[in-house]
Amino acid sequence: MPGYKALPDHFSGRVAEGVRYAEVLQRAGANDDAVQLLETALEMCTASTPEIPGWLCGRLAALYRTLKRYDDEVRLLERYRDSHQHAGGARTRFDARLSKARAIADRKRRSDTRSLDSVRKVISRRTTGSRLTLALSEEESGFSPVTRAQLREAFIDAAATSDDRCLGAALVRLRDEAHTLKHPPERMVAALKAVWQRAGPRDVERDAWHALYRVALTRSLALYFDEDDE
């Protein structure tokens, strides 16, 4: 690693072995593989102990900098800081490193094109689970109150009884109205999301309620594009 001596022999175990192998890869010029290995070692390490060891964090951060992955470097150093609650020599050194990494990342970000940045955001976004931001409220969605009410009742009924026949019928009606009013599919999806979010009953488990949304959205799109046998 740049600026790093070989990991001393007294460090042992799978994580240390991973770091040593990453050093070999890095010397061979396979920086991407070395990073992947260190990231795996990091996950392995944090699965057993909350504190990230400095000898692992420092090497991975240095490689991120070499690969110009400045934001990843900042995130890693922040993670290190969060995992070490007590201030000390190492923590102070890493704090200084974090300040410098932030400055570099900020400078780089300013010179980056907006388009590249937004692709990166999309790529990383889906790791955080389903986002359900709404572009439209239920009333603004352009669907009739009767259709929305039927859909809401069908969601609640399906959650209570595990029988999705009413939901199927409500989705067919939603699709028919979308076609009649020449609404694009994204408008139908926004309406469905709005109804689903407002209908959320308190006594239904969150996962089950989300699963129902997933089924309804998939089915409504299949109906919209005539890919469902109804």
Q: Which residues bind another protein (CB under 8 A)?
A: 113, 115-116, 118-119, 122-123, 125-127, 130-133, 135, 184-186, 189, 214, 217-218, 221-222, 225, 227-229
- Choose between 133 and 180: whose C-beta lies nearer to another protein: 133
Q: Which is nearer to another protein, 92 or 124 (CB)?
A: 124
Nearer to another protein, 5 or 131 (CB): 131
**In the complex, least distance from residue 161 CB atom to another protein, rounded to whole angstroms:** 21
Instruction: Give least dist CB 112 to another protein, A.
Output: 10
What would the two tokens of residue 190 be?
Answer: 């926004």
CB of 16 to another protein, least distance (A): 29
Toward another protein, which CB reaches closer, 14 or 165? 165
Shortest Cβ 201–another protein spacing (Å): 21
Output 97 or 187, the one with its CB closest to another protein.
187
Report, in Å, the least distance between residue 138 CB and another protein: 16
